[in-house]
């Protein structure tokens, strides 16, 4: 019998839903036209792209002309940051952003922009007072993510949108980990720019969207044809865009079907039952057992298990059939503790002893039962080998 494999790494990527695959299929084969061509093959592709644009716009509550299709979250973030700032401008972002924002901001700092990274609290949330204090006369752009990819912590984006509006500053939010998990309304958020990524919401890898509010002047990253109203040159990835449109349509439907509540209930059970079975462990940023410290997206929990190496536990669990992540997927392989957990004031040892579980609408009760069975077992086995676990508490150099 093949080994049972349970996937709980949806914040890294998600599989296509069958409906998404079916919607895309013809655009690889018989409907292969270039959306810029005048003939009927081209028109067919164009109308599919425009229908997808309408569906994505409905998910974000914006106009379809404000949707720019990109190659993913990373490109959308880069387009936002590079596209609206000039040398001499100040960019206000946070220490807990994804590297797609952090490293873009780092590059911009080398290219004449001033960059400030806002801190977060021990729950991984940024504070409005810090943001207000950090504003400068030359602040051009605030970029704060809607939900964190490692902890799931939701940031106060609507309040930030108000501050941005009062200050006449552009506001970008990376909503890659929020899309299809939380309702998104760009009017309510008050953002000028918002990034999402297809593969985090059951559309294909290599697809993304940047919402660009009407009248927001943005320079493209690529030069070429006049695609995407001159905001993103290059022949459209028609099949991918169709997949993105279908995934957006399904996400909207899912909100009405209570899917988020079902996922949150699974996540909460997973978290509570693992913590009931493992000592010297806890939740980063949202301890449901203690009242729930911070609002999180419904699918994510990040747990720490002192006295072991998270990466080793990821491998041990993979051998048992459970796929999870030791931090953000993009950072795996690097031995540096997560920059997000570090920004929350978590010690390097505890950050390295942390695991992210991220569920999706495909996660079942049985999947959760499986994780509840294998995680405590793997933790106990690894702790047997831990040089610190058996020491009396007072001599253990970890706790923070």
Ligand X SMILES: Cc1ncc(COP(=O)(O)O)c(C=O)c1O
Residues designated catalytic: 330
CB 111 within 8 A of CB 142: no
237 near ligand X (CB under 6 A): no
Looking at 9, 46, 72, 361, which residue binds ligand X (CB under 6 A)? Answer: 72
One symbol per residue from 199 to 228: x for binding ligand X (CB under 6 A), - otherwise; what is it? x--------x--------------------
The distance of closest approach from Cβ of residue 332 to ligand X in the complex, given in angstroms and rounded to an integer, is: 11
Report the residue from 14, 44, 55, 74 that binds ligand X according to the rule CB under 6 A: 74
Per DSSP, the three-state class of 304 is strand
Cα 241–chain centre separation: 19
CA distance 34 to 200: 26
3-class DSSP state of 170 = strand
By the rule CB under 6 A, 149 interacts with ligand X = yes
- Residue 73 binds to ligand X (criterion: CB under 6 A): yes
What contacts 335, CB < 8 A, 6 or more positions away?
A: 311
CB of 71 or CB of 260, closer to ligand X: 71
Question: Does position 356 bind ligand X by CB under 6 A?
Answer: no
CB 206 within 8 A of CB 199: yes
Where b means 16+ CB within 10 Å and e means fewer, 245-261 reads bbbbbbbeebeeeebbe
For the window 163-202, what string marks contact with ligand X as x by the rule CB under 6 A?
-----------x-xx-------------------x-x---
- Could you give the angle at the alpha carbon of 199 between the alpha carbons of 120 and 298, nearest 5°? 50
List binders of ligand X among 291-350 (CB under 6 A). Answer: 330
CB of 339 to ligand X, least distance (A): 13
Q: How far is the CB of 337 from ligand X (least distance, A)?
A: 18
Non-local (6+) Cβ contacts of 83 within 8 A are 218, 219, 220, 221, 231
Query: In terms of CB distance, is 179 or 275 closer to ligand X?
Result: 179
Report the residue number whose CB is nearest to ligand X: 73
Number of residues that bind ligand X (CB under 6 A): 15
Pick 141 or 145: Cβ nearer ligand X: 145
User: Candidates 72-80, 113-121, 250-258, 298-306 — which segment interacts with ligand X by CB under 6 A?
Assistant: 72-80
170: which 2 tokens?
């552009």
Tokens coding 94 = 């946070």
Residue entry with tokens 């044809």:
225
Q: Using CB under 6 A, pick the residue from 46, 53, 90, 98 that binds ligand X.
A: 98
CB contact at 8 A, 102 and 77: no
Q: Which of 76, 374, 93, 342 is nearest to 209 (CA)?
A: 76
Q: Which of residues 100-119 bind ligand X (CB under 6 A)?
A: 100
Alpha-carbon gap, residue 51 to 241, rounded angstroms: 10
Task: Provide the mask over 76-95, with x wherever binding to ligand X is found by CB under 6 A and - wherever it is not.
Answer: -x------------------
Q: Which is nearer to ligand X, 149 or 302 (CB)?
A: 149
For the record, the structure tokens of 346 come out as 């978590």
Nearest distance, CB of residue 51 and ligand X, angstroms: 22
* Nearest residue (CB) to ligand X, 62 versus 196: 196
Closer Cβ to ligand X, 139 or 155, answer by number: 155
| CA angle (320, 10, 322) in 5-degree steps | 5
> For residues 103 and 269, which CB has a smaller minimum distance to ligand X in the complex?
103
Contacts with ligand X by CB under 6 A lie at 72-74, 77, 98, 100, 145, 149, 174, 176-177, 197, 199, 208, 330
């Amino acid at each position: 019998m093949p080994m049972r494999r349970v996937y709980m790494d949806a914040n890294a990527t998600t599989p296509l839903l069958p409906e998404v695959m079916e919607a895309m299929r013809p655009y690889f084969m018989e409907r292969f036209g270039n959306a810029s061509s005048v003939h009927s093959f081209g028109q067919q592709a164009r109308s599919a792209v425009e229908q997808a644009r309408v569906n994505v716009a409905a998910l974000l509550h914006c106009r379809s002309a404000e949707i720019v299709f990109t190659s993913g979250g990373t490109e959308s973030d880069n387009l936002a940051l590079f596209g609206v700032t000039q040398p001499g401008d100040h960019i206000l972002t946070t220490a807990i952003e994804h590297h797609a924002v952090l490293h873009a901001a780092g590059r911009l700092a080398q290219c004449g922009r001033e960059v400030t990274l806002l801190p977060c609290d021990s729950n991984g949330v940024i504070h409005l007072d810090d943001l207000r204090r950090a504003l400068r006369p030359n602040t051009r752009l605030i970029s704060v993510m809607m939900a964190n990819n490692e902890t799931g912590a939701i940031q106060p984006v609507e309040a930030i949108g108000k501050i941005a509006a009062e200050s006449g500053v552009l506001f970008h939010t990376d909503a890659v980990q929020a899309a299809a998990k939380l309702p998104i309304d760009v009017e309510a958020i008050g953002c000028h720019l918002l990034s999402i990524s297809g593969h985090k919401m059951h559309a294909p890898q290599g697809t993304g969207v940047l919402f660009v509010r009407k009248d927001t002047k943005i320079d493209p990253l690529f030069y070429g044809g006049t695609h995407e109203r001159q905001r993103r040159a290059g022949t459209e990835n028609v099949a991918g865009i169709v997949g993105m449109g279908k995934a957006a349509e399904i996400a909207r439907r899912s909100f009405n079907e209570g899917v988020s509540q079902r996922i949150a209930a699974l996540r909460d059970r997973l978290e509570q039952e693992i913590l009931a079975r493992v000592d010297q462990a806890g939740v980063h940023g949202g301890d449901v057992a203690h009242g729930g410290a911070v609002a999180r997206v419904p699918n994510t929990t990040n747990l720490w298990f002192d006295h072991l190496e998270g990466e080793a536990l990821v491998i041990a669990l993979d051998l048992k059939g459970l796929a999870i992540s030791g931090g953000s997927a993009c950072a795996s392989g690097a031995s540096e503790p997560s920059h997000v957990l570090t920004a929350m004031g978590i010690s390097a040892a505890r950050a390295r002893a942390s695991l992210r579980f991220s569920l999706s609408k495909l996660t079942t009760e049985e999947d959760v039962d499986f994780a509840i069975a294998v995680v405590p077992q793997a933790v106990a086995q690894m702790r047997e080998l831990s040089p610190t676990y058996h020491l009396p508490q007072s001599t253990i150099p970890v706790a923070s």
